[in-house]
Structure 1
Amino acid sequence: MSMVTGGCLFTVVHCCVMPSSLSSTSKLKLQPTPTPTLRFAVSGQMSAETTPSKTETTTTNLSGNGRFKKKREEEAETEGKKEKQNPYVLEIEKKEIEFKSSRKGLDAYFEGCRNFIKSDGGPPRWFSPLECGSRLDNSPLLLFLPGIDGVGLGLCKHHHTLGRIFDIWCLHIPVKDRTPFLGLVKLVERTVRSENYHSPKRPIYLVGESLGACLALAVAARNPDINLSLVLSNPATSFEESPLQPLISFLEIIPVEHQLSLSYVLSLMTGDSLRIVMDNAVKGIPLHQIIGGLSKDVIAMSSHLNDLAALLPRETLLWKLQMLRPASEFANSRLAAVKAQTLVLSSGKDQFLPSEEEGQRLFRALPKCENRKFNDSGHFLFLEDGIDLATIIKGSAAFYRRGMYHDYVSDYVPPTPSELKILYESNRLFLLATSSVMLSTLEDGKVVKGLAGIPSDGPVLFVGYHMLMGHELAPMVSQLLLERNILLRGLAHPLIFMRKKKEGRLPPLSDFDPVRVMGAVPVSGTNLYKLLSSKAHVLLYPGGAREAVHRKGEQYKLFWPEHSEFVRTAARFGAKIVPFGVVGEDDFGEVIFDYDDQMKFPCLREDIRRYTEEEGIKVRAQINGELGNEDMHYPWILPKLPGRFYYYFGKPIETEGRELELRDKDKAQELYLQIKSEVEKNLAFLKDKRESDPYRNVVARLAYQAMHGFTAEVPTFEI
Structure 2
Amino acid sequence: MAAATAASVFPGVSLTFRRHEVMSLTGNLNSNRIPSKAWRLAVSVDQVPATSTNSAPQKRRLDQLEKQEEETENVERPLVAAEGRRIGAKDYFEQARAFIKSDGGSPRWFSPLECASRLNNAPLLLFLPGIDGLGLGLISHHQKLGRIFDIWCLHIPVMDRTPFIDLVKMVETTVRLEHERSPSRPIYLVGDSLGGCLALAIAARNPDIDLVLILANPATSFSKSQLPLLIPLLEATPGPLSSLLPNMFSLIADNPFGATATLDNLLKGLPLQNTARELTEGLATLSSSLAVLAEILQRETLLWKLHLLKSASAYANSRLHAIKAQTLILSSGKDQFLPSQEEGERLSDLLPRCDLRKFDDSGHFLLLEGSMDLVTVIKGTYYYRRGKYHDYASDFMPPTPGEVKYATDKSSLEIWETVTSAVILSTLDDGTIVKGLAGIPSEGPVLFVGYHMLMGIDIIPLVPRIYLERNILLRGMAHPMLFTKSKYRGPDLSTFDPLRIMGAVPVAPTNLFRLLSSKSHVLLYPGGMREACHRKGEEYKLFWPEQSEFVRMAARFGAKIVPFGSVGEDDFGQVVIDYDDLTKIPWFRNEIEKLTNGSVRLRNDAVGEVANQQMHVPGILPKFPGRFYYYFGKPIETEGMKEELKDKEKANKVYLQVKSEVENCLAYLKEKRESDPYRNILPRLFYQATHGPSSQVPTFEI
Matched, 1:347 2:332: yes
Q: 2:457 is matched with which residue: 471, 482, 485?
A: 471
2:203 aligned with 1:239: no
Cα deviation, 1:442-472, whole Å, max 9, x if unaligned, reads 1111111110010000000000000001111
Relative to structure 1, the CA distance from residue 554 to residue 275 in structure 2 (aligned partners, 3 Å threshold; closer, same or farther) is farther
Please list the CA deviations of residues 665-686 of structure 1 after superposition, one character each: whole Å capped at 9, or x if unmatched.
Answer: 1111111111111111111111
Q: Is the 8 A contact 1:340 1:368 kept in 2?
A: yes
1:325 corresponds to: 310
CA distance in 2, matches of 1:545, 1:706: 38
Corresponding position: 1:517 with 2:501: yes
Q: 1:533 aligns with which of 501, 510, 517?
A: 517
Q: Name the structure, 1 or 2, with higher relative contact order (CA <8 Å, separation 6+).
A: 1
1:706 equivalent to 2:676? Answer no
CA distance in 2, matches of 1:245, 1:303: 26
The answer to whether residue 484 in structure 2 is matched with residue 498 in structure 1 is yes
Distance 1:57 1:178, change over 3 A: farther
Q: Of 418, 429, 433, which residue of structure 2 is paired with 1:443?
A: 429
Q: Which secondary structure state, in structure 2, belongs to the residue aligned with residue 562 of structure 1?
A: coil
Shift of 1:364: 2.0
Match of 1:172 in 2: 155
1:31 matched residue in structure 2 = none
Change (3 A) 1:626 1:389: same
CA distance in 2, matches of 1:441, 1:289: 55
Measured in 1, the distance between the counterparts of 2:576 and 2:408 equals 31
The one of 464, 471, 476 aligned to 1:485: 471
State whether residues 588 and 639 of structure 1, in contact with CA within 8 Å, keep that contact through their aligned partners in structure 2: yes
Q: Distance in 1 between matches of 2:22 and 2:141?
A: 24
Q: Deviations over 1:158-202 (max 9, x none)?
A: 112211211111111111111111121111111111111111112
Cα distance, 1:489–1:218 mapped onto 2, change above 3 Å: same
2:266 corresponds to 1:270: no
Alignment of 1:41 onto 2:7: yes
Aligned to 2:125: 142
Q: Provide closer, same or farther for how the CA distance between residues 506 and 378 of structure 1 changes in structure 2, counting only shifts above 3 A.
A: same
Kindly report the root-mean-square deviation, in angstroms, between the aligned alpha carbons of the 2 structures.
Answer: 3.1
Q: Would you say 1:382 and 2:367 are equivalent positions?
A: yes
Stretches of structure 2 that go unaligned for 5 or more consecutive residues are 25-30, 53-60, 74-79, 250-258
Letter in 2 for 1:91: L
1:559 aligned partner, one-letter code: F
Q: Is the 8 A contact 2:417 2:461 kept in 1?
A: yes
User: What is the alpha-carbon distance in structure 1 between the residues aligned to residue 355 and residue 69 of structure 2?
Assistant: 37
Summarize the Cα distance change of 1:717–1:260 in structure 2 as closer, same or farther, 3 Å threshold. farther
Amino acid at match of 1:311: I
Q: 1:454 aligns with which of 440, 444, 460?
A: 440
Is the 1:268–1:378 contact (alpha carbons within 8 Å) kept by the matching residues of 2? no
Does the aligned pair in 2 maintain the 1:103–1:270 contact within 8 Å? no
Distance 2:97 2:327 in 1: 33
Q: Deviations over 1:469-497 (max 9, x none)?
A: 11110211111111110001111111112
Higher mean alpha-carbon deviation, 143-152 vs 108-117, is at 108-117
Query: What one-letter code is carried by the residue in structure 1 that aligns with 2:66?
Result: I
Instruction: Verify: 1:92 aligned to 2:57, yes or no.
Output: no
Evaluate the alpha carbon distance shift between residue 81 and residue 543 of structure 1 in structure 2; reply closer, same or farther with a 3 A threshold: closer
Q: Could you tell me whether the CA contact under 8 Å between 1:272 and 1:376 is conserved in 2?
A: no
Q: Cα gap change, 1:58/1:673 in structure 2, threshold over 3 Å: closer, same or farther? A: closer
Would you say how many aligned residue pairs link Structure 1 and Structure 2?
A: 659
Q: Which residue of 2 aligns with 1:14?
A: none
Equivalent of 2:101 in 109, 112, 118: 118
Distance in 2 separating the partners of 1:300 and 1:288: 13
Question: How far did 1:319 drift?
Answer: 1.2
Are 2:486 and 2:595, in contact at CA under 8 Å, matched by a contact in 1?
Answer: no
TM (norm. structure 2) is 0.88
| Cα distance, 1:214–1:82 mapped onto 2, change above 3 Å | closer
Q: Does the CA-based 8 Å contact 1:42-1:56 persist in structure 2?
A: no
Q: Is contact 1:275-1:376 (8 Å) kept? A: no
Q: CA deviation at 1:545?
A: 0.4
DSSP-derived class of the 1:229 partner: strand
Q: Secondary structure at the match of 1:463?
A: strand
Q: Structure 1 residues 58, 148: CA separation in 2 closer, same or farther (over 3 Å shift)?
A: same
Deviation at 1:96, TM superposition (A): 7.2
Query: 1:202-601 residue pairs with structure 2 within 5 A?
Result: 202-263=185-246, 264-265=248-249, 267=260, 269-271=262-264, 296-397=281-382, 399-426=383-410, 427-501=413-487, 504-601=488-585
Between the aligned partners of 1:713 and 1:300, the Cα distance in structure 2 is: 48
Query: TM-score, normalization: structure 1?
Result: 0.86
Equivalent position amino acid for 1:174 in 2:
P
CA distance in 1, matches of 2:267, 2:145: 29
AA of the residue aligned to 1:671: V
Alignment pair present for 1:630 and 2:623: no
Structure 1 residues 274, 600: closer, same or farther in 2, change over 3 A?
A: farther
Q: Are the structure 2 counterparts of residues 506 and 58 from structure 1 closer, same or farther at C-alpha, using a change threshold of 3 Å? A: closer
SS in 2 for 1:205: strand
Deviations 1:95-138 (A, max 9, x none): 9799x9x9972201101111212222221111112222422111
The 3 A distance-change label for structure 1 pair 524 and 294 is: farther
In the superposition, relative to structure 1, how do residues 273 and 249 fare at CA in structure 2: closer, same or farther (>3 Å)? Answer: closer
Q: What percentage of aligned pairs have identical amino acids?
A: 59
The answer to which of 424-433 and 86-95 deviates more is 86-95
**Unpaired segments of 5 or more residues in structure 1?**
1-38, 47-51, 281-286
Residue-by-residue CA offset, 1:39-80 (whole Å, 9 max, x unaligned): 99222359xxxxx995897856743489989x65xx76x979
